[in-house]
Amino acid sequence: MRNTGGPGGLIASFANGIVTDNKWKCTTRAIRNWHTTGFDDSNWPVATIHGGNSGPSRVNRLSTNAKWIGTNYRNADSFYCRRNMTYFGEKSSAGGSKSFFNHSPNCTLTCKIIII
């Protein structure tokens, strides 16, 4: 995807009910090991919600509870988002992989968004 100077954002929903919302954190800063489970993101800002999954920006087959999120600077060339959670129960799968969640009850979903 080529960004011609317009706004960027992330929207997602997962089979286990997790959606992009204000429980995520997003930054424009690339920080070493940001994607690891043990990373301390306490200084990261809460994701800015730019809109819901409705109207002209609706993405079919995603939960209507999912929100368009990102940093407060909508025209960023790239940004990084993560969400921490405590997970109990059966492991989920993504893309055919059974290791989407690690064996620890504390898990992190991470996304790196680069708009070219």
Q: Nearest to residue 11, comparing CAs of 27, 24, 28, 30? A: 24
pLDDT at position 47, please? 95
pLDDT in tens, the chain (116 residues): 344 566 778 899 888 888 999 999 999 888 998 888 788 889 999 999 999 999 988 899 899 999 999 999 888 878 889 987 765 544 443 433 333 333 344 455 665 544 43
Q: Nearest to residue 29, comparing CAs of 115, 108, 116, 112? A: 112
pLDDT at position 74, please? 85
65 touches 18 (CB < 8 A) = no
pLDDT at position 112, please? 53
Domain ranges of the chain: 25-114
pTM (predicted TM-score): 0.73
CA angle (31, 25, 44) in 5-degree steps: 50
- Both tokens of 78, joined, read 């790239």
In angstroms, rounded to a whole number, what is the distance separating the alpha carbons of residues 46 and 61? 26
